[in-house]
């Protein structure tokens, strides 16, 4: 009987240890040698099939001070869920089974770009009056769209000609800074474009050639310009921090593909193509609060698509959590 009890005890201990004794071995990392022009964005695309995964990688890798720029010759260990920087003091894994990727650039990484169509809008710091307005619609329709006829107050006496094109905008409410409570400007929403087809001295008939949103009488007209553009990613050269002021639809919660407006612009050194993280403070539990300063949490990223003097328009390209109006943003610096 005693032998049976001992045997059962041993089996019990083996069962408890089984998850550790018989667990599947961890996958071996790939050792990648960084090439000239590589970015974590591109490395994420290559190894994780998700170029927007790199904010997650950066947040787990304090050794990478600048996640957009890594250095030729650096070695990275590529795990299924993370990237680690190999430094000269770090010994290789005990198994010695790492697979090293060849240094040759057999898989070139294409620079990341973003396409904008002109419907993103902007914040105007001036009380935008435009150069004209839609003053009537065909058959007094409340809203019109592409292909419909409208009438404007732009006529021949102002040098206008048949075929002239204009962009159509709607001036919305004043935007107030959420924490500093000063007036930033007016939210200007693009509605579409029109082309003049028949003129009088003081007015004209026009056809709506493109519509992003519903167009109505009173809409503002500005000179037409090409709005479909490709925005190349561009690292900032200034350490900037700002706030998300508003979103294109006015929603308080936004995610990938949404358009937001920031309280940073040309006067602060922000440029089109700059990448900014969306960051959030981590607050210690009540019993630990005091002088403790914790690293900020990266919850997403935005790319600037247009800039004003002190405000800009940006596209949300990554979110690992819901992004809210009032969240902070900070630039990704070039070295």
pLDDT, one tens digit per residue, over 139-156 is: 999 999 999 999 999 999
What pLDDT, on a 0 to 100 scale, did the predictor assign at position 14? Answer: 38
Q: Are residues 71 and 142 in the same domain?
A: no
- Among residues 229, 247, 272, the one where a domain terminates is 229
Say yes or no: 127 and 225 in one domain: yes
Q: Are residues 139 and 220 in the same domain?
A: yes
Residue 114 lies in a domain: no
Q: Which residue has the higher pLDDT, 97 or 220?
A: 220
Residue 329 has pLDDT above 60, yes or no: yes
| pLDDT value of residue 102 | 45
pLDDT-derived band at 13 (thresholds 50, 70, 90) equals very low
Residue 322 has a pLDDT of: 93
pLDDT at 94: 44
Would you state the pLDDT for residue 92? 46
**Residue 31 and residue 72 in one domain:** yes
Answer yes or no: do 150 and 205 share one domain: yes
pLDDT tops 60 at residue 248: yes
Q: Which of 70, 90, 110 is the last residue of a domain?
A: 90
Closest CA to 216 of 130, 320, 108, 138: 138
Task: Provide, rounded to the nearest whole percent, the portion of the chain with pLDDT above 90.
Answer: 45
Name which of 140, 225, 123, 234 is nearest 184 in CA terms.
123
Q: How confident is the model at residue 215 (pLDDT cuts 50, 70, 90)?
A: very high
Question: What whole-number distance in Å separates Cα of residue 174 and Cα of residue 92?
Answer: 58
Asked if residue 270 has pLDDT above 80, the reply is yes
The answer to whether 30 touches 101, Cβ cutoff 8 Å, is yes
Domain that holds residue 242: 233-331
CATH assignment at residue 268: 2.40.10
Whether 106 is covered by a domain: the verdict is no
Residue 269 falls inside a structural domain: yes
| pLDDT at residue number 76 | 81
Least confident among 65-69, 144-148, 289-293, 324-328:
65-69
**Average pLDDT across the chain, whole number:** 80
More confident residue, 106 or 317: 317
Q: In 3D, which of 105, 69, 103, 80 has the Cα closest to residue 30?
A: 80
Burial of 303 per CB tally in 10 Å (0-12, 13-18, 19+): buried
Write down the pLDDT at residue 180: 87
How many alpha carbons lie under 13 Å from residue 70 in its C-beta half-sphere? 27
- The mean-pLDDT minimum among 104-113, 166-175, 227-236, 290-299 falls in 104-113
180 with 131, same domain: the answer is: yes
Same domain, 257 and 185: no
- Reply yes or no on whether the pLDDT at 297 is more than 70: yes
**pLDDT at 296 (0 to 100):** 82
In this prediction, residue 5 has a pLDDT band, given cuts at 50, 70 and 90, of very low
In a domain, 104, yes or no: no
The answer to whether residues 263 and 212 belong to one domain is no
The whole-model pTM stands at 0.71
Residue 239 corresponds to which tokens in the numbers above?
């350490």
Look at the chain and report how many structural domains it folds into.
Answer: 3
Tens of pLDDT, residues 38-91: 777 677 777 877 665 655 555 455 555 444 456 677 788 887 777 777 764 444
pLDDT score, position 71: 66
| Helix/strand/coil for 284 | coil
Provide the pLDDT for residue 287.
76
Cα-Cα end-to-end distance for the chain: 74
CATH number at residue 73: 3.10.350.10
In this structure, is residue 146 part of a structural domain?
Answer: yes
Is 177 in the same domain as 217?
yes
Residues 48 and 63 in one domain: yes
Residues 130 and 221 in one domain: yes
Clarify whether residues 250 and 271 are in a common domain: yes
Residue 73 pLDDT: 77
User: In whole angstroms, what is the distance from residue 334 CA to residue 320 CA?
Assistant: 23
- Indicate whether 219 belongs to any domain: yes
Residue at which a domain ends, from 229, 256, 276 = 229
Q: Is residue 116 included in any domain, yes or no?
A: no
């Amino acid at each position: 009987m005693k032998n049976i009890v001992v045997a059962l005890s041993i089996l019990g201990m083996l069962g408890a240890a089984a998850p550790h004794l018989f667990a599947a071995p961890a996958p071996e990392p790939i050792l990648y040698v960084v090439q000239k022009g590589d970015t974590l964005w591109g490395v994420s695309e290559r190894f994780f099939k998700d170029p927007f995964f790199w904010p997650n990688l950066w947040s787990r890798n304090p050794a990478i001070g600048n996640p957009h720029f890594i250095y030729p010759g650096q070695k990275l260990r590529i795990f299924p869920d993370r990237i680690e920087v190999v430094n000269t003091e770090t010994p290789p894994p005990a198994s010695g089974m790492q697979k090293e990727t060849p240094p040759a650039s057999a898989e070139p990484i294409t620079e990341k770009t973003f396409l904008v169509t002109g419907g993103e809008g902007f914040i105007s710091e001036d009380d935008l009056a435009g150069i004209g307005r839609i003053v009537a619609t065909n058959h007094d329709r409340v809203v019109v769209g592409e292909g419909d006829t409208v009438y404007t107050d732009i006529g021949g006496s102002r040098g206008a000609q048949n075929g002239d094109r204009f962009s159509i905008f709607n001036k919305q409410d004043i935007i107030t800074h959420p924490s500093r409570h000063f007036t930033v400007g007016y939210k200007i929403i693009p509605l579409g474009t029109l082309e003049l087809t028949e003129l009088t001295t003081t007015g004209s008939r026009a056809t709506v050639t493109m519509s992003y949103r519903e167009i109505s009488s009173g809409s503002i007209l500005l000179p037409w310009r090409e709005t479909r553009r490709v925005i190349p990613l561009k690292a900032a050269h200034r350490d900037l921090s700002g706030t998300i002021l508003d979103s294109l639809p006015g929603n308080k919660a936004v995610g990938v593909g949404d358009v937001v407006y920031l309280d940073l612009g040309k006067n602060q050194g922000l440029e089109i193509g700059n990448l900014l993280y969306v960051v959030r403070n981590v607050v210690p539990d009540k019993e630990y609060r005091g002088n403790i300063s914790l690293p900020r949490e990266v919850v997403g990223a935005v790319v600037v698509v247009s800039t004003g003097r002190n405000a800009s328009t940006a596209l949300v390209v990554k979110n690992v959590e819901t992004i809210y109006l009032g969240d902070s943003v900070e630039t990704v610096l070039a070295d």
